[in-house]
Amino acid sequence: MKSVNFISKICIYLLLAVLAGSPLYGKDDKIKPKEPGVYIKTNKSLIRLLPNMVFDEQRILFIESNNPGHFFLKDIEYFIVSGKYNMDVLTLNPLLFINVSPLGKPRFIFGKDTEIDVKSKGGNLYLVKPKTLMGRGYYCLWIEDTVWDFVIE
């Protein structure tokens, strides 16, 4: 009986030593985008958004929809901005339909900015989280003349 207790204690101590000795990683420690741009961190992976251009026609700023990425609301955790960008002008905006271009592409204007929290993760890596709840719709992250648009379903 004493040998069984002794062996079980040794097994427990070995298990604790293995668990305590393994490195512990935080949720945000593994973020390493391969190239500059904007990414959406989902519950499964890091997905890169394709950039779009801002057009100015008669002093109205708009974008033309270019097959944006579609994501489920429950899957989006936060956004990652990687690269040398002026983060002082970063905004998160809903997009509102305005008209159709002569080529048949839908045009969207920028809605009111959504409040965001931007945290530097060292180097040229920034974590962006909205301060308010987001709903379904067409959104974009906008820095100067580049927009990364996406649809939340």
Spans of all domains in the chain: 26-152
| 2 has pLDDT over 80 | no
User: Residue range 68-75: average pLDDT?
Assistant: 95
Percentage with pLDDT > 70 across the chain: 81
User: Residue for token digits 């394709």?
Assistant: 50
Q: Residue 52: beta bridge partners?
A: 147
User: Residue range 103-123: average pLDDT?
Assistant: 94
User: Residue for token digits 């990364």?
Assistant: 148
pLDDT digits (tens, 9 = 90+) for 117-149: 999 998 899 999 999 989 999 999 999 889 999
The number of C-alpha atoms within 13 Å of 19 and in the hemisphere containing its C-beta is 6
pTM attached to this predicted model: 0.76
pLDDT digits (tens, 9 = 90+) for 13-46: 655 555 555 444 444 446 678 899 999 999 999 9
Three-class DSSP category at 78: strand
CA distances from 61 to 54, 89, 100, 102, 110 (A): 7, 15, 14, 17, 7
